[in-house]
Amino acid sequence: MTEPQVLRREFSLWSAFAFAFAFISPIVALYGIFGLALSAAGPSFWWGFALVFGGQFLVALVFAMLVSRWPLEGSIYQWSRRLLGTTYGWFAGWAYMWTLVIAMATVALGAAGFTANIFGVEDPSGTTLALIALGILLAGTAVNLAGRQALKIFMVGSIIAEVIGSVVLGTWLLLFHRQNSLSVLFSGGGPEVDLWTWLSGPFLLAVAFIGWSFVGFESAGSIAEEVHEPRRYLPKAVLFSLTFIALVVGYSSLAIILAIPDLDAVAEGAVADPVYETLTTALGHGVARPVEVMFVIGFLASFLALQTSASRVIWAYARDGALPAAGVLSQLRGPARIPVVAIGVTTVVGAALFGLSIVAGDIYSLMVNFTAGGFYLAFLFPLIGFLVVLLRRSWTPANFSLGRATLPVAAVAVVWAALQFLNIAWPRVVFEQRYLDWSVWIGIAVLLVLGTAILATVRSRIVEASVIEEVESRDELAGHP
């Protein structure tokens, strides 16, 4: 058996933080859910940010402990495998890998709409959007293939653009264009809806939408073997990225809520895009194009982080012999020693999804719905595995540990992630096409059947986890460049 290939460690703590920040992207997070959450529960949906952040911070604490123990490329796949075995880990990574690839395609399609507006294409057709998304996919792939230095430069640029776009614009709106008082945050469903009815219905739906905003902090672990001193830096990157994103998104969302000219019109669905409408009303239509450029930068940065994460999970699988054509997929090429073939696979799959969006109708909504539930499903694998190992008293803590608080934090994190997954996946009536309400379950069923078939063909060839850990440990101790 040949020894696994070794990645170059060219990322610092700042790079890992920037990577996770770009993955979540406050612009993508806010724009993607603001209108949906506001329509679902009114301005009081804003409190959902605090609830989701609290739950996700518990998840992040568990992931920080796991990445400190196992700083391996592939994150969720690697952690789950080492917690409860190869088959368990394989399905964890399978769910995570497909969630990343589908989210990548979804973000590219989202960026396509803004790109069309920037170039003056009004009411673009589905085919036009798919072709623009394909161009974004190819451009993003080129950046990824250029190496880690190009990736780092783009990530830093995106942080600058997004902080300006989120914090500076938010501050300007709060200071000079405030239209509503803070009391709107406590209006709930209005006088005709009692508190419990609002909390158990509209607010839960808003929380399901908000759940999409606070995923991606675990992505710092997806590039673990490319980061210097990962046991020291990655727990910080996981926790800092989630916290910073929560602050930026919560602040920007508050600013927009208080600046909306007509909250009643938004609640009635008369305003299709409350974020864009509020910005142009307050700042004038001259700001429209610069704002859209910042949106595109945010979407592109998120796309790059998603594609990088997906390709690294594929590479980690292939290195273990856990995918068909593993020998080709695990190759590292070029001066930067990056998984070129794995990146190419994400490009091909993304292009196929764009083609499917042309012929199969509203696949975009299907992909958006699945990815939100898919992330929480993937999170549940290592969370449950970690809790089981703790209850068996077989956990060995690493550099980052919560001591006696580890078990209660892990238990509450499992409960939170399970409830949020069920909240997102629950087939409540939201869409006219009923099958879209079942998006998460449809995706799970398809992946389960396909994954079971593929695992059966590769199970006997999967490399023992101890072999990979030994190579990674030698590399880290040697300070491999």
| pLDDT value at 37 more than 90 | no
| pLDDT value at 361 more than 80 | no
Lowest mean pLDDT of 170-174, 194-198, 280-284, name the range. 194-198
pLDDT above 90 covers what percent of the chain? 46
The SS3 call for residue 302 is: helix
| pLDDT value at 392 more than 90 | yes
| pLDDT value at 193 more than 60 | yes
Torsion angle, alpha carbons of 43, 44, 46, 52, to 10: -140
Contacts of 345 (CB under 8 A, 6+ apart): 311, 314, 329
Nearest one of 465, 370, 336, 446 to 11, comparing CA atoms = 336
Q: Choose from 179-193, 265-279, 393-407 the range with maximum mean pLDDT.
A: 393-407
Question: Residue 322 is which amino acid?
Answer: A
Residue whose pair of structure tokens reads 């996919």 in the numeric block: 137
| pLDDT value at 363 more than 80 | no
C-alpha to C-alpha distance for 467 and 3, rounded to whole angstroms: 9
At residue 189, the pLDDT reads: 60
Within 221-339, residue ranges assigned H as helices are: 230-259, 263-267, 274-283, 288-319, 326-329
Q: Which residues pair with 338 in a beta bridge?
A: 333
| pLDDT value at 109 more than 50 | yes
Count of CB atoms situated within 10 Å of the CB of 451: 17
At residue 477, the pLDDT reads: 52
Q: Per-residue pLDDT averaged across 285-304, rounded?
A: 81
Q: Which residues pair with 11 in a beta bridge?
A: 227
Q: Which residues pair with 333 in a beta bridge?
A: 338
Q: Which residue has the higher pLDDT, 205 or 195?
A: 205
Residue 20 and residue 216 in contact, taking contact as beta carbons nearer than 8 Å: yes
- What values do phi and psi take at 11, rounded to 5? -105, 140
- What values do phi and psi take at 397, rounded to 5? -70, 155
| pLDDT value at 2 more than 60 | no
Q: Which residue has the higher pLDDT, 24 or 203?
A: 203
Provide the pLDDT confidence category of residue 285 given band limits of 50, 70 and 90: confident
Lowest mean pLDDT of 121-135, 349-363, 391-405, 444-458, name the range. 349-363
| pLDDT value at 207 more than 70 | yes
At residue 396, the pLDDT reads: 93
Token pair recorded at residue 352: 């196929």
Task: Tell me what the pLDDT averaged over the chain comes to.
Answer: 87
| pLDDT value at 191 more than 60 | no
- 406-459: pLDDT as tens digits: 999 999 999 999 999 999 999 888 777 788 888 899 999 999 999 999 999 999
The SS3 call for residue 155 is: helix
Residue 74 and residue 228 in contact, taking contact as beta carbons nearer than 8 Å: no
| pLDDT value at 479 more than 90 | no
Q: Per-residue pLDDT averaged across 272-297, rounded?
A: 79
| pLDDT value at 101 more than 80 | yes
Provide the pLDDT confidence category of residue 405 given band limits of 50, 70 and 90: very high
Local structure of residue 462 (DSSP, 8 states): P
- 230-246: pLDDT as tens digits: 999 999 999 999 999 89
Q: Which residue has the higher pLDDT, 280 or 330?
A: 330
Local structure of residue 11 (DSSP, 8 states): B
Contacts of 407 (CB under 8 A, 6+ apart): 387, 390, 391
Q: Per-residue pLDDT averaged across 326-333, rounded?
A: 90
| pLDDT value at 13 more than 90 | no
C-alpha to C-alpha distance for 74 and 317, rounded to whole angstroms: 8
The domain locations on the chain are 13-471
C-alpha to C-alpha distance for 219 and 80, rounded to whole angstroms: 15
Q: Per-residue pLDDT averaged across 268-293, rounded?
A: 78
Lowest mean pLDDT of 82-96, 338-352, 362-376, name the range. 362-376
Q: Which residues pair with 227 in a beta bridge?
A: 11
Question: What is the CATH superfamily name and number for domain 13-471?
Answer: Amino acid/polyamine transporter I (1.20.1740.10)
Q: Would you list the DSSP string of 181-213?
A: -GGGGG-TT-TTS-HHHHIIIIIHHHHHHHGGG
At residue 1, the pLDDT reads: 43
Provide the pLDDT confidence category of residue 103 given band limits of 50, 70 and 90: very high
At residue 475, the pLDDT reads: 56
C-alpha to C-alpha distance for 38 and 46, rounded to whole angstroms: 8
Residue 426 and residue 204 in contact, taking contact as beta carbons nearer than 8 Å: no
At residue 467, the pLDDT reads: 58
